[in-house]
Structure 1
Amino acid sequence: MEPLYIKILRDLEAAIVSGLLKPGDQLPTEKELSEKYSVSRITSKRALNELEQKGLIERTRGKGSFVTSKLETTSVTNRVLLLLPFTDDIAIGNLSGSILPVMQQVQYELMIATYDFLNTHTTQDIKAEFDGLIYYTEDENQHLDLLFELSFADFPIVLLDKEVPDLNLPSFLSDNLSGGKKACDFLIAAGHKRIAYLFGDHHHPQSTRQRYLGYIQSLMEHQIDFHTSFEEDTTSEDNLLRYVKQNQITAFVCENDITAIQAMRSLRLADLCIPEDISIVGFDNIQAAALVDPPLTTISQNFKAIGETAGEALLSWIKTGQKPNSQKIPVTLFVRESTKEIKS
């Protein structure tokens, strides 16, 4: 069981680090703390002694305890928290592996945790234990309360992969709109004019919507009126074949590589050849993209650059107090054998 004084210590430390208690402010007395937390004065005294040893407060006999005026140099923990939706982040480009060296260069500890960490830690705990937070945004509506509370307290937070429109926080993500446009530009240059966008399911996150808008932008810039999107089950060869024939599709831009690979299988089962009958471009450049038959043309995200840029921006914020700007990291087209030129 956690010692009673730890609760008092954490609460006071969080109030100091968050700025609720400012340099020079007086803390509650031992008697007031013992009454508030229903503990002995010895317990409350120990919590205050610990804060004094950490350099967060100064104690003067007969006057009380005050937040130290040297707080700016003593409250730094040299620790950053990276919150991910799952333990293994290989699926999202091993972001932790790219952020860790950035932190090690300046002797910062990087603690990597899943969202479950938030079940046992409050915003006050995070502010007391860390200097900043790197948060991978799986769903832009998730943990809004926590992010808002930390942001309101001017706690340094940077977001990965998606923006959160309701919060003024810097985000570091792939240029998804440019990626969708780049994929469609490539197919148009190869002679395709009946190009469709292929969604993988009925849940379209921010990144997928941006890729779709990039596809639309490409068609508009090339003055191609035809555009369409398929949102049904890509594993059904009958549905996909019917859609291709009805719209005379010659190429697909797919929301991701998984969707592209599923479509390739379904089209082959419907006796269509890739790329002779249909050209396909994916997105993400997952390992399977180079291994399928035929190897998949795809857009690659630079997760290493995303992680490094986000880590450096957060450290700069911690050091200077200046909030960084959001950045979109360029993507790259990998041309493989799932696409081909067609005659006009």
Structure 2
Amino acid sequence: MKNEPLYQQIKNKIKEQIQSGKLRMGDRVPSEKELMEEYHVSQITTKNALAGLAEEGIVERIKGKGTFVSESAFTSSMNQQNKSKGFIGLILPTMKTKIDQEFVNYIEKYVAKNGHQLIVKITRESQFEEAIAIEMYKKMEVKGMIIFPTEKENYNEAVLRLSLDKFPFVLIDRYLENILTYSVASENENGTLEAISYLLDKGHKNIGLISPIITNTVTEERAKGFEDALLKRKTTINKNLWLTLEFNDISKNKTPKLIKDFLLTKPEMTAVFTMNAELASYTHLAITSLKNETGRDIELITFDPPGISGISFIEQNIEECSKKTVELLLEQIDGTYNPRRIFVPVKLNQCEHFESLLLVDKI
């Protein structure tokens, strides 16, 4: 792929979007300018890519209106799907983070590599929608399912029924604590332990934690890793330095102020760990605002890359998680049933100093 001309790589990307259903018959294809910005290439490159697709009959270019997926391309894509080994259903609660998008990208890659087609349903953190998606996929006679469970405290009964029926499925990112199923997750506990140990090594004694309410195996393991790091150093676990947020309180409009107000009440805190990249971005806003007003600085470390320069973070191996997930699902589809949990190692990316390069709105 890397040896192909850039215009050919862009052509292939658009073809993949048509085959996956992201682009359908009659949909507008990004313009030359939009493709330039997305792929950071010259206009001549994007012009050649679209011209090549038009020559193959995959797109139709209408002067003054744009470029659109042709009927022949859609028919070809459907014929290709009909020749596949069948559909795999992916259910996930959100597509708002880069991590979510990387999971979909790599899962689709390995599903397609093994001759299947991926279809996606987003539940928007609704267990009702999760149950509907499961029933819909069963009616479609998908070969198997990959499920990111919602953040809710209790698992969906529809997921439990899949387990009891031994229907091919894999849970990813979290698992059923008291029921052995196929699941793939990152080493949340070890990763958090390493992150907090890193802060302790730097001399931090009062370390805060900012988390969604702790309701699932992900948040439970990360909280345990936090505690274990302190226990190993015989340091007191002070849960007065913990801020747990209801799901409804996590938003760009509300969360930064809630965190800033919390930090103001904890003058002894010199560092803080956040459970995920979204909370890291909100915490960074709060810390920067606090620093501008009082001169007080707080070191921030988080799980997953926050996309902000100078912040240490724990990095999951999304491609390996996705690959293992597809392998476990295909094992079941091929007739083997040996449920187990797989934990994929993570790594700590350290930043020795941090400076904000972002403009921060007043909180």
The CA deviation string for residues 193-233 of structure 1, in whole angstroms up to 9 with x for no partner, is 2222223x446543223212101101111222253333176
Matched, 1:213 2:224: yes
Which stretch of structure 1 is more off in the superposition, 149-158 or 273-282? 273-282
Match of 2:106 in 1: 98
Q: TM-score, normalised by structure 2?
A: 0.61
Count of residues in correspondence between the two structures: 255
Question: Which residue in the other structure is 1:328 paired with?
Answer: 343
Q: Show the counterpart of 1:176.
A: 188
Q: Does 1:242 align with 2:260?
A: no
1:152 aligns with 2:164: yes
User: Equivalents in 2 of 1:249, 1:95: separation in Å?
Assistant: 34
Does residue 1:85 correspond to 2:98, yes or no? no
Mapped partners of 2:209, 2:97: distance in 1: 28
Q: Displacement of 1:129 after TM fit?
A: 1.1
2:215 equivalent to 1:193: no
Q: Kindly state the Cα deviation for residue 235 of structure 1 after the two structures are TM-superposed.
A: 2.1
- Name the structure 1 match of 2:278: 258
Q: Report the 3-state secondary structure (helix = DSSP H, G, I; strand = E; otherwise coil) of the residue aligned with 2:313.
A: strand
Written as runs of structure 1 = structure 2, the 5 A alignment for 1:1-344 is: 78-86=86-94, 90-115=98-123, 116=129, 119=132, 122=135, 126=138, 129-139=141-151, 144-199=156-211, 201-202=212-213, 204-228=215-239, 229-231=241-243, 235-236=257-258, 237-243=260-266, 245=267, 248-271=268-291, 277-286=297-306, 288-290=307-309, 295-337=310-352
Over residues 285-320 of structure 1, what are the superposed CA-to-partner deviations in whole Å (9 max), with x where a residue is unaligned? Answer: 13x233xxxx21111122211111100111112214
For residues 225-251 of structure 1, the C-alpha deviation after alignment (integer angstroms, 9 at most, x for no partner) is 2533331765253441221x2xx2222
1:249 partner letter: M
Structure 1 residue 110 displacement after superposition = 2.1
Partner of 1:34: none
Cα distance in structure 1, aligned partners of 2:331 and 2:294: 48
Cα RMSD (Å) of the superposition?
Answer: 3.2
Structure 2 unpaired stretches of 5+: 1-83, 124-128, 245-254, 356-363
Shift of 1:183: 0.8
SS of 1:328's equivalent in the other structure is: strand
- Given residue 166 of structure 2, which amino acid in structure 1 is its aligned partner? D
Q: Distance in 1 between matches of 2:327 and 2:166?
A: 18
**Deviation of the 1:272 alpha carbon:** 6.8
Is contact 2:94–2:100 with CA below 8 Å preserved after alignment?
no
Amino acid in structure 1 at the alignment position of 2:273: V
Percent sequence identity is 21
Instruction: Identify if the C-alpha distance between structure 1 residues 169 and 275 changes in structure 2 by more than 3 Å, giving closer, same or farther.
Output: farther
User: TM-score, normalising length from structure 1?
Assistant: 0.64
Change (3 A) 1:160 1:240: same
Conserved? CA contact 2:92–2:147, under 8 Å: yes
Report the counterpart of residue 67 of structure 1 in structure 2.
none
- Give the conservation status (yes or no) of the 8 Å contact 2:177–2:217: no
